[in-house]
C-alpha cells in the first residue's frame, strides 16, 4: 500500500519540467528495489534514522552535483499531481533565497518544503513542523512563504484523513477510485530542481492558487 502512494508521487515528479533529480533515502532493501525499478536514484542508509536525516543526506548529495534548490515531499500525499507540484515550484521564487512551506490541512504539519539554496535550513519534520519551519526560516533571515494547496494539504496520518480521501474520490471520481492507501510515512522523497494562520510567525507571502 505504501508503494502505491510512493509510485504516484514519483510518476507525478517525472512530469514536472523543473525537477532534475529525484532521490529516495532508505534503509529498506524492499524500498530500494522498488525505487530502482522506477529509475529513481537511491541512497542507502545502514539504519532508519528518520525523515529529517534522510532529507539532509539527499540534499547534501544533490548539492554536491550542482543542484541549487530542494523540494522535499513525504510519501503519503494521495492527491498529489504533477500540476500541483509545478504550481508550487513556480510560486517558490527559485532564483531567490528563501523557503516555501505547504502546510497540511490542519496547518500543523508540513506536506512540502522548497528551499533555495537547497540547504537553506535543516528540515524540521515532526510534530508542529509547519510552525517550526516558519520559525527556522525566519531565524536564518530567509523569506518564508506559505503555499496553500488542496492537492498537497491532505496526508494520511489519522483515520479521518482516509475518510477525507474517500470523500474526495467519491466526489471527483465516482466509482472509478480503486487506489490503495497507506497509513504511515516510512520514507521521504527528496527532489531537487536546478531552476531557477500562524499568528506567532510572520510570513512574507501566502499563495493560494486559482
Q: Which domain holds residue 118?
A: 2-207
Cell of 21: 533529480
Strand partners, 192: 21
Number of domains in the chain: 1
**21, pLDDT greater than 60:** yes
Provide long-range contacts, Cβ within 8 A and 24+ apart, for 117-121.
117/63, 117/68, 117/69, 118/59, 118/62, 118/63, 118/67, 118/68, 118/69, 118/70, 118/192, 119/59, 119/60, 119/63, 119/70
pLDDT of amino acid 10: 93
pLDDT of residue 204: 58
Nearest Cα residue to 193 out of 116, 134, 103, 97 = 116
**Do 195 and 176 touch, CB atoms closer than 8 A?**
no
Going through 3-139 in order, the beta strands assigned E by DSSP cover: 21-26, 41-44, 70-74, 98-103, 110-116
Share of the chain above pLDDT 70, in %: 74
- For residue 190, the tally of other CB atoms under 10 A from its CB is 28
In the prediction, which pLDDT does 175 show? Answer: 38
Q: Which residues contact 156 (CB under 8 A, 6 or more apart)?
A: 5, 76, 78, 162, 165, 181, 182, 183, 184
pLDDT, tens digit, for every residue of 67-122?
Answer: 899 999 988 899 999 999 999 999 999 999 999 999 998 999 999 999 999 999 99
**Cell output for 25:** 533515502
Length of the chain: 210
Q: How many helices and strands in the chain, by DSSP H and E?
A: 7, 8
Confidence band for 183, pLDDT divided at 50, 70 and 90 = very low
- Residue 158 binned pLDDT confidence (cut-offs 50, 70, 90): low
Average pLDDT of every residue of the chain? 80
- Contact in structure between 58 and 113 (CB atoms under 8 Å): no
Task: Report the pLDDT value the prediction gives residue 126, as an integer from 0 to 100.
Answer: 93
| 157 pLDDT higher than 90 | no
Which helix (H) or strand (E) is 195 found in, with range? none
pLDDT for 193 beyond 50 = no
Could you give the C-alpha distances from 165 to 30, 85, 138, in angstroms and in order? Answer: 26, 19, 33
Greatest mean pLDDT range, 16-20, 78-82, 129-133: 129-133
> For the domain that residue 33 is a member of, what is the CATH number?
3.90.550.10
Amino acid at each position: 500500500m505504501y508503494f502505491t502512494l510512493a509510485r504516484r508521487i514519483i510518476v507525478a515528479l517525472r512530469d514536472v519540467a523543473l525537477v532534475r533529480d529525484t532521490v529516495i533515502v532508505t534503509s529498506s532493501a524492499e524500498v530500494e528495489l522498488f525505487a530502482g525499478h522506477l529509475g529513481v536514484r537511491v541512497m542507502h542508509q545502514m539504519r532508519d534514522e528518520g525523515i529529517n536525516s534522510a532529507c539532509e543526506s539527499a540534499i547534501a548529495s544533490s548539492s554536491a552535483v550542482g543542484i541549487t534548490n530542494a523540494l522535499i515531499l513525504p510519501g503519503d500525499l494521495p492527491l498529489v499531481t504533477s500540476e500541483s507540484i509545478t504550481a508550487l515550484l513556480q510560486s517558490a521564487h527559485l532564483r531567490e533565497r528563501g523557503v516555501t512551506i505547504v502546510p497540511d490541512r490542519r496547518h500543523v504539519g508540513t506536506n512540502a518544503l522548497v528551499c533555495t539554496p537547497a540547504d537553506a535550513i535543516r528540515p524540521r519534520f515532526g510534530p508542529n513542523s509547519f510552525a517550526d519551519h516558519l520559525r527556522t526560516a525566519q531565524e536564518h533571515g530567509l523569506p518564508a512563504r506559505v503555499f496553500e494547496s488542496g492537492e498537497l494539504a491532505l496526508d494520511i496520518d489519522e483515520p479521518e484523513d482516509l475518510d477525507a480521501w474517500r470523500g474526495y474520490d467519491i466526489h471527483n471520481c465516482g466509482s472509478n477510485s480503486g487506489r490503495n492507501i497507506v497509513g504511515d510515512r516510512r520514507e521521504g522523497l527528496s527532489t531537487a530542481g536546478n531552476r531557477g494562520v500562524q499568528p506567532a510567525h510572520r510570513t512574507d507571502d501566502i499563495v493560494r492558487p486559482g
